[in-house]
Structure 1
Amino acid sequence: MEFRFDHNNINVYDLNKSLTFYKKALGLGEVKRHEQANGEFILVYLGDGSSRHLLELTWLKERTEPYNLGDNEFHLALRVDDFQAAYEHHKEMGCICYENKEMGIYFINDPDNYWIEILPAEK
């Protein structure tokens, strides 16, 4: 028996705002979408164009307030081939929420305040 990662899911309050952010900040594009027939929810799967792993964004029609992420002690992590260019891009976007220069990493936060770790390319 062999398992492999398929996708991670996060719930988002404003789907269009999140889609715009993930495209602009990380270059993630829509791979597939499922809209429930009765309009209760929409699932949008985002991909990076090179790996098979997807990020599923779930939008719920009945949601009337932003999500409470508690202590937000979880995050996604992405590697980037040009770390300095990514850093400057995210700095310009104003979405860097934490830097650890000693470790050579930083975090950005999305419109729902989920944290995303940005790592340099593996050596």
Structure 2
Amino acid sequence: MSGQATDVSVYKFNHTMFRIKDPKVSIPFYENVLGMEKFKESAGSDFTNFFLAFPNGWPTEGLSAKEKEEAFGKREGVLELCWNHGTESDDSFKGYASGNDEPGRGFGHIAITVDNLEAAVKRFDDLKVKFKKRPEDGRMKSIAFIYDPDGYWIEVLEQNKKVEHK
């Protein structure tokens, strides 16, 4: 072990990983529905990892693929999607546990903020995104929950708006 000290004040939460069944379904969802950008793809012998993040605040125009990968790799809020090869064509594959059902309850959701919740909900409706909870449902009127293609929950809330419990 090194005798060097570490400075926890510079630690960052870099990424979360989800296992996905089919990248041909999941990658377009995160790119075209949520607006994330895939900045890295890393293949192993029997799996491939895809790294995505929102490009806002991280100018990437004109950067090479390597420069883009380095820039995004230094940021927070990255989503890693891990595809185990073959799951997309396995008719007996039942999918992954989302963490919100028994057995395996534990993980809950990720969350994104949007500029206008009402407009985002309309856009999700137009794109035929499946909702877990619409803003008008339940006590919390200022949030929505949508499902990704693998059944993971994504909380959607408006930037700079207080979540109200009624």
Would you call these one fold, judging by a TM-score over 0.5?
yes
Q: Post-superposition shift, 1:106?
A: 0.4
Question: How many residues were matched structurally?
Answer: 121
Q: Post-superposition shift, 1:62?
A: 4.6
Larger radius of gyration: 2
Corresponding residue to 2:145 among 104, 107, 115: 107
Q: Post-superposition shift, 1:97?
A: 2.1
Check whether the contact 2:146–2:153 (CA below 8 A) recurs between aligned residues. Answer: yes
AA aligned opposite 2:15: H
Give the Cα separation in 2 of the matches to 1:111 and 1:99.
17
Could you tell me the percent identity over the aligned residues? Answer: 31
Alignment deviations for residues 42-61 of structure 1 (CA, whole Å, 9 cap, x no partner) = 00000101362210000001
- Secondary structure of 1:78's counterpart equals strand
Corresponding residue to 1:96 among 109, 131, 146: 131
> What is aligned with 1:122?
160
Higher strand share: 1
Corresponding residue to 2:41 among 25, 33, 38: 33
AA aligned opposite 1:98: K
Q: Cα RMSD over matched residues? A: 1.8
Check whether the contact 2:117–2:158 (CA below 8 A) recurs between aligned residues. Answer: yes
TM-score, normalization by structure 2: 0.66
Give the Cα separation in 2 of the matches to 1:80 and 1:32.
24
Q: Which runs of 4+ in 1 moved over 2 A?
A: 99-103
Q: Post-superposition shift, 1:16?
A: 1.3
AA aligned opposite 2:16: N
Alignment of 1:1-123 (within 5 A): 1-2=7-8, 3-36=11-44, 38=45, 40-50=46-56, 52=75, 53-63=77-87, 64=90, 65=93, 66-69=95-98, 71=101, 73-94=107-128, 95-101=130-136, 102-103=139-140, 104-123=142-161
Alignment deviations for residues 14-70 of structure 1 (CA, whole Å, 9 cap, x no partner) = 11100011112210110111011x3x0100000101362210000001534122335
- Secondary structure of 1:17's counterpart equals helix
Gapped regions of structure 2 (runs ≥ 5): 1-6, 58-74, 162-166
Higher relative contact order structure (alpha carbons within 8 Å, sequence separation ≥ 6): 1
